[in-house]
Amino acid sequence: MMRRFTLLAALAVCLLSCGPGNKTTNTTNDSKKIFRLNLTGGLTSLDPVFADQRTNIWATTQLYNGLFTFGEDLHVHPELAENYKISEDGLTYTFTIKKNVYFHDDQAFKNGRGREVIADDFVYSFKRLMDPRTAAKGSWIFADKVKQSADKKLADDWIEKIDDYSFKITLNRRFPAFLQILSMPFTFVVAKEAVEKYNKDFRKHPVGTGPFMLKTWNEKDRLILVKNTKYWKRDVKDQPLPYLDAVDVSFIEDKNQAFLSFEKGSLHFLTSISETSRNKILNKDGSIKDDFSSKFVVEKKPYMLTEYIGILMEGTDEKANPLLNKKVRKALSYAINRKNLISFIRNGLGTPGSHGFIPDALSSFDSTQIQGYKVDIKKAQELLKDAGYPQGKGFPEITLSTYTTDKEIAGFLQKQWEDNLGIKVKIESNQFATHKDMVDNAKVKFFRGSWIGDYPDAENFLSLFYSKNFSPDGPNKTHFADETYDKLFEEAHETDNTFTRYSDYNKMDQIIMDNAPVIVLFYDEVLNLKQKNVTGLKTNTMNTLVLEKVDLKSGNNASANADDKKEEKKEESSK
């Protein structure tokens, strides 16, 4: 035990001395494989019940495991679940978990040694997620799905232990995407001893079962994770995972500065590319520039993310708040040239959001079924006139709340609305975490928003408009409410028939377009950059970050990529 802690301490010294200025195309001088990346947006917690934003999701994914996980194909794959069965009525899910999976060594346990994960841990973790005292960001995933008592509260037996390695969950109604729910970071398993020992500080003392363990987290500065030498997974060659010795995360908020660090070789991986930096990577048509692709690996594919403007649908006084007038909201939407936004601001990255809230990365997306909004200045002006504001006369200045990294898009929208409608819009920018808190707590009426799919089913996107999901407890940040919508939302849960569900999804999406609580801007695309010696880092349309099979290869890039492809083929043949 002492030897292990000595090794970790030595590694930490190395990490802290080998700063971001060092080249990453090779491993460190002592042959430690240290993977360096940057995260923007503010890491707020390493507790999985608060994994509601990309930075938190990416960090907790390296520290914890759940029953299931999403593969590159977006299909659900068992992780800590050994097997499962679903009752004929679709209401009872019974899970058997893997044996010999251990929590990280930590002082929360006897003698500092992590103990084996048992069914009680899942019962505890899921009940903790739903406990109001936890104030979890993810409680909404179970709230309207699991078994309820007569008074519409959680039933005492919604989750029950069967034996040390099995438990069951009973639903209140059928929910075909339930296994996808159980692949979300909110459902990662935690140890009761660790939560009780660290209490509110558990957010910065994570104890999971994942491939990496926390060594250091200096908030807004640096996060260092080290290899979990007792990790339960092995690769197809029966070699222990992870391959990396450590992960070094910086929090450079200036995206241009982060891009420069990547170009210099100080980072192995980069996402969240600024508009300015995209000019170096992409042509105006969205294709990748040859000179850049010759130096780095560029991954570009549809992203399960919708970017939008949200309107808080609270109040009835349209004169005091003209955004409550549906004609005004529609006018604002018709006045935007989304193709120009994609071309001029984003170098062709993304698809204009003209066909509803559900993004084109999902299988249920159908542009022929949803009448959305394409630029139509004449129609926009007519709607604004009908609302009582011809050419914007008498329309009060409104404030668009956004975040500091969104200035170019906000400025584009500001000019579109003034030029096309005569409406003046003030831009108010805050750090992302501050902006998110204001939106979640209904402190702003007109705001920039984005929704990354938690799981690959359109239900997740449509849950943003279900009346029982009002923020801050749920994802309905606009506080939109419609009885017909709610009925369709609930009906879609009652069937496993894909055709029926997709039909309901389309009807709901059209209701959103007709009522316009949001102005859809575009469906995003993933643009990730990697150094050429990075292997095993896969990108899917959810843009998840899983580092357990990532490696840093020496030698030329061709041989590194060849090794990666061999590994893929062996994995496929072993399934």
- What pLDDT does residue 3 have? 37
- What pLDDT does residue 23 have? 52
Is 497 part of any domain? yes
Segment of 28-32, 59-63, 147-151, 297-301 carrying the highest mean pLDDT: 59-63
- For residue 5, pLDDT over 90 is answered with no
- What pLDDT does residue 209 have? 98
CATH number at residue 386: 3.10.105.10
Sign of CA dihedral 156, 162, 166, 171: negative
Three-class SS string for 331-393?
Answer: HHHHCCCHHHHHHHHHCCCCEECCCCCCCCCCCCCCCCCCCCCCCCHHHHHHHHHHCCCHHHC
Is 133 part of any domain? yes
Omega before residue 472 within 30° of 0, cis = yes
Please say whether the beta carbons of 92 and 172 come within 8 A. Answer: no
- What pLDDT does residue 28 have? 46
- For residue 262, pLDDT over 70 is answered with yes
Is 220 part of any domain? no
446 and 325 within one domain: yes
- For residue 14, pLDDT over 60 is answered with no
- For residue 565, pLDDT over 70 is answered with no
Q: How many CB atoms lie within 10 A of CB 299?
A: 16
pLDDT tens sequence across 116-158: 999 999 999 999 999 999 999 889 889 888 999 988 899 999 9
- What pLDDT does residue 20 have? 42
Is 22 part of any domain? no
- What pLDDT does residue 567 have? 45
Lowest mean pLDDT among 100-104, 175-179, 452-456: 452-456
Is 259 part of any domain? no
82 and 194 within one domain: yes
- What pLDDT does residue 306 have? 96
Domain-ending residue, one of 480, 510, 525: 525
Q: How many domains is the chain partitioned into structurally?
A: 2
Give the range of the structural domain holding residue 76, as residue numbers without chain letter: 65-199
- What pLDDT does residue 478 have? 97
Q: How far apart are CA 438 and CA 471, in angstroms?
A: 11
Is 288 part of any domain? no
Q: How far apart are CA 315 and CA 481, in angstroms?
A: 12
Task: Please report which helix (H) or strand (E) contains residue 125, including its range.
Answer: helix 119-130
Q: How crowded is the C-beta side of 91, counted as CA atoms within 13 Å?
A: 8
CATH number at residue 96: 3.90.76.10
Q: How far apart are CA 221 and CA 255, in angstroms?
A: 15
- What pLDDT does residue 455 have? 87
Mean pLDDT for the chain?
89
Q: Any bridge partners for residue 520, and if so which? A: 308
306 and 173 within one domain: no
Q: What average pLDDT does this structure show over 571-575? A: 43
Is 461 part of any domain? yes
pLDDT confidence tier of residue 30, bands split at 50, 70 and 90? low
- What pLDDT does residue 505 have? 94
Share of the chain above pLDDT 90, in %: 71
Q: How far apart are CA 362 and CA 556, in angstroms?
A: 36
Is 262 part of any domain? no
Q: What average pLDDT does this structure show over 22-49? A: 79
Q: What average pLDDT does this structure show over 471-500? A: 90
pLDDT tens sequence across 390-415: 999 999 999 999 998 888 999 999 99
pLDDT confidence tier of residue 367, bands split at 50, 70 and 90? confident
306 and 191 within one domain: no
pLDDT confidence tier of residue 236, bands split at 50, 70 and 90? very high
Q: How far apart are CA 505 and CA 186, in angstroms?
A: 25
